[in-house]
Structure 1
């Protein structure tokens, strides 16, 4: 499985199928948040892309939107391990079919290491927005 096949592991691949010919590798996004909810044994990752998807709706381009974010929610989390955070950039984000048929996720970065197993993963939300560009 290569870095862009992660979408096929989600319960909702259609959420991005219209926006991308082929979903980009998750490491091309900026991982800007990890929210762990111990009540629901869920975990949500927030990813931002400094561009619009390759096939944005006309409404987004007409409004001049130039950035995109998506949130992935992992449900039924087990074997969660997090070591470091420190605002480090994720160098590798991998989703794979786990031994029990669930989803095994690993994130590695300079000062970040996280892994877990999940029963399922879904695209929770997507959003296009206008981002200021600094030169």
Structure 2
């Protein structure tokens, strides 16, 4: 499976189509947020890109927006394992078809690893914004 095939595993693959020429490699984004909700056995990942995606709407560029983010929400989490999370960059984020029709997710990086199975995943809240640049 190609690194960009993950989007077809979501409930709403059309959510990123207007902005991207092809599904992005998740490792090219900054994984800036992980929220685990034990009440609903859910997990949400926040991904940010310090540029606009390949096909930004004209109004984004006209407004001077220069960054993009979206969230992936996983439902029905099982077999959650997290090891060594220290704010390191995620070198690989993969979603694959798991056993019994679910989604297997793995995150790997220097000093970190995480994995889980989910019943379903969907793209939630895409947004372009203006980010300041520090040199």
Do these two structures clear the TM 0.5 threshold for a shared fold by scoring above it? yes
Q: Residue in 2 aligned with 1:94? A: 94
> Deviation digits for residues 72-99 of structure 1, max 9, x if unmatched?
0000000000112111000110000001
TM-score (norm 2): 0.98
1:5 is aligned to 5
Partner of 2:127: 127
Structure 1 residue 67 displacement after superposition: 0.3
Gaps of 5+ in 2: none
Deviation at 1:64, TM superposition (A): 0.2
With the length of structure 1 as denominator, give the TM-score of the two structures. Answer: 0.98
- Equivalences for 1:75-86 in 2 at 5 Å? 75-86=75-86
- For structure 1, list consecutive stretches of 5 or more residues without a partner in the other structure: none
Give the distance between the partners of 2:19 and 2:127, measured in 1 at CA.
Answer: 11
Query: C-alpha offsets along residues 90-116 of structure 1, whole Å, 9 cap, x if unaligned?
Result: 011000000111000000011210000
SS in 1 for 2:16: helix
Structure 1 moving runs of 4+ over 4 Å: none
